[in-house]
Amino acid sequence: MSNPSPIRCIIVDDEPLAVTLLADYVAKTPGLVIVLKTTHVLEALQTVQEGRADLLFLDIQMPELTGIQFMTIIRNACKVILTTAYSQYALAGYEHDVVDYLLKPITLDRFLIAVQKAKDRIGGPAASPSMTEPTAPSPATKPQDTPDHFFIKTEYRIQRVEFAGIYYIEALRDYVAIHTTTGKILSLDSMKNMEEYLPTDSFIRIHKSYIINCNKIDYLEKGRIVINKEYLPIGDTYREKVKDKLKLP
């Protein structure tokens, strides 16, 4: 019986040292082969779109194209392991079915755990006998069912937030305020990231400063949406989208 084909890997990161480290780890791991290691995200994108990769080690924060944008473009063309120095982006991997999420600085043992998860999905050979034991799911590994929550970094902790408990989210200069049934949560994050975290079937942006949970709407009055006794304006540029989403007359 012939050995399975090696898993073709791409490494893309705008930091050369990060590329070098991951390339060294790949070289040490049986069953992996590098097809491309680069700091140029568009070069990596072209290689993936040409069907020349099985597994992508992808940095999230890059100047030309973010990792989230990259995954949106390739649409599951290959398996992805996210790499980043910022833990607040872990939950963005849920919507893109990422294999794992590696927080920098990346150690070899943690790298091997992520690779084994990828091999289990792709069907490649085991990294080593010790890697065949079950491992705890990483924060960004997509569960079998649709997630009902996400995690957000606050000043003192990483807070679990249930989708169903959110009334609305408000932009406050450099912060966002998540108004929930149990209180207000402040985070140094962006409305753009909030839109990526939240399920689009029940959440919609109605204004540059507001994202609402459609399931929490009490009523509409004079061009405003009322949620939990709060009057939230509908921005002119969002009006048609809101009308279509809510199926308004």
State the pTM of this model.
0.51
What CATH number was assigned to the domain covering residues 7-132?
A: 3.40.50.2300
- Interval 192-204: pLDDT, tens: 888 888 888 899 9
What are the start and end residues of each CATH 3.40.50.2300 domain in the chain? 7-132
**Which residue intervals of the chain are DSSP H helices?**
16-28, 41-49, 67-74, 108-122, 191-197, 239-246
CB atoms within 10 A of CB 239: 14
3-class DSSP assignment, residue 13: coil
**Would you say 98 and 137 are in contact if contact means Cβ atoms under 8 Å apart?**
no
Q: Which fold has domain 150-246?
A: OB fold (Dihydrolipoamide Acetyltransferase, E2P) (2.40.50)
What are the start and end residues of each CATH 2.40.50.1020 domain in the chain? 150-246
Taken as a whole, the chain contains a residue count of: 249
Q: What is the mean pLDDT of residues 78-102?
A: 74
**Would you say 44 and 20 are in contact if contact means Cβ atoms under 8 Å apart?**
no
pLDDT at position 157 is 80
**Would you say 171 and 210 are in contact if contact means Cβ atoms under 8 Å apart?**
yes
C-alpha radius of gyration, the chain, whole number: 21
Separation of alpha carbons 60 and 53, rounded Å: 18
- Interval 180-195: pLDDT, tens: 999 999 998 889 888 8
Of 70 and 96, more confident: 70
